[in-house]
Chains A and B, each alone.
Chain A
């Protein structure tokens, strides 16, 4: 059985103080249904990807909450996997279609983060780490900084090369009307930005964001649909200290290998990828873990523009602007990545269109790599 994305949409991403989660959900789901040209009565189940509604908003039971809000009186589920909640919701939706239980479902990824002060959001996000890491006063920038330092030590990766990831992704975001940031950055600006968790600086970090994204999935290949060729999840230990490897995210590597096998493709055939650049170093790790570049070679390639729109001769990475430029409402991100790939594969991505895009890969990570989700989409 083949699974297709029939419709896809995102809201504006950003600091949306005047917009409620209900409004974000309505906006993204109604646009996705319209895009798929189906009525809400045809929807048989709703999968909601979200991480922080309980800890920040005090609201759990999100399946029923959004089913009511959207006027979809169907089976509804909240799926949580930290910043991979969106990707995990998609995976569960795909499985529900493969099982034959439903024929048409909606996946909503959503997060409202800017109602709360950054220290509280940082604390809540640390719910994705290990207890040992929370007791150490670690933060997610801090954990990725520990990985960055090891990668720099082993492969000679430089802070300037990490900065080049943010520069590229802000350039892409400047071409995306729904992105949180439209300003261009220079390596010097990134290098001069305030230190958050050495060696990572403010402009190495994805922002705190609000936003939602939705897709309609079904077993029907209606016009404008994109096929989901693989949907794979892998896990690793919650905490960094228990990992076998510290210069890669092993869960990403394992999920990618299996996804390529299922799709019958190699990394070299991917034309466009949306990867989890929660911090600049995370995109470097992803490029190597997903097999796009050999170990230790990705940072220099990114710096040379080998994954940038207009200068890449092969794969383009994070044309949406990625988490860094487009924004990172954590539960929405994994779904937004797929929305971007649908736009790219349909050829409707406007100024940020990747030429001849035929195969897309989405890579969504939870925590410091404890969950990795890889989706491969094809025209």
Chain B
């Protein structure tokens, strides 16, 4: 089975799909356009059994948010208390690190939400 620097195949998949510098560069405008938007929580879960790249973050809430523009996003909720996990909780989108940097040093940033207080 193909391996790269002792890493399993799945790692290569992750690296190619989440941490490609080209893809991160291309997505900059999309990410920037979603930062600092306010909205409300439509629904949520708490992920306790995470995908491989998120094991050190679990458990964490994933929320479905409707922004004031009407656009909806699915993202993690951070800087929260349990009381914030309610229907209609107001949140604001922020930029945060998504997973670990890869061995080349590329840091994957993305959109998360935090409660608006």
Contacts of B10 in A (CB 8 A): 55-56, 116, 120, 123-124
* Contact residues on B (Cβ < 8 Å of other chain), bracket: 35 or more
B7 nearest CB across to chain A (Å): 12
CA distance A146 to B87 in the complex (A): 11
Interface of B is mostly: mixed
For residue A119, CB closer than 8 A to chain B, the reply is: yes
- Contact of B13 with A124 in the complex, beta carbons under 8 Å: yes
Interface of A is mostly: helix
- Contact of A146 with B46 in the complex, beta carbons under 8 Å: no
Contacts of B47 in A (CB 8 A): 137-139, 141-142, 197
B14 nearest CB across to chain A (Å): 7
- Contact of A58 with B74 in the complex, beta carbons under 8 Å: no
CA distance A82 to B50 in the complex (A): 19
Contacts of B57 in A (CB 8 A): 137
- Which residues of chain A (127-153) have a CB below 8 Å from chain B? 130, 132-139, 141-143, 145-147, 149-150, 153
- Contact of B46 with A136 in the complex, beta carbons under 8 Å: no
For residue A70, CB closer than 8 A to chain B, the reply is: no
Q: Taking CB as reference atom, which chain A residue is nearest B75? A: A136
B99 nearest CB across to chain A (Å): 8
- Contact of B74 with A197 in the complex, beta carbons under 8 Å: no
For residue A195, CB closer than 8 A to chain B, the reply is: yes
CA distance A219 to B107 in the complex (A): 56
- Contact of A197 with B64 in the complex, beta carbons under 8 Å: no
For residue B72, CB closer than 8 A to chain A, the reply is: yes
Q: Which of A58, A135, A141 contacts B110 (CB 8 A)?
A: A135
For residue A184, CB closer than 8 A to chain B, the reply is: no
Bitwise, B1-20 to A at CB < 8 A (1) or not (0) is 11000001110011001100
Q: Taking CB as reference atom, which chain A residue is nearest B61? A: A198
Q: Taking CB as reference atom, which chain A residue is nearest B55? A: A119
B37 nearest CB across to chain A (Å): 13
- Contact of B49 with A146 in the complex, beta carbons under 8 Å: no
- Contact of A138 with B49 in the complex, beta carbons under 8 Å: no
Q: Which of A123, A130, A137 has the most C-beta atoms of chain B within 10 angstroms of its own C-beta?
A: A137
- Which residues of chain B (45-73) have a CB below 8 Å from chain A? 45-55, 57-58, 60, 62, 64, 72-73
Contacts of A64 in B (CB 8 A): none
- Contact of B49 with A126 in the complex, beta carbons under 8 Å: no
A-B contacts, 18 of them at CB < 8 A, read A56-B9, A117-B52, A119-B52, A123-B10, A123-B51, A126-B51, A132-B75, A134-B18, A136-B75, A137-B99, A139-B49, A142-B62, A143-B45, A146-B62, A149-B44, A197-B48, A240-B64, A246-B64
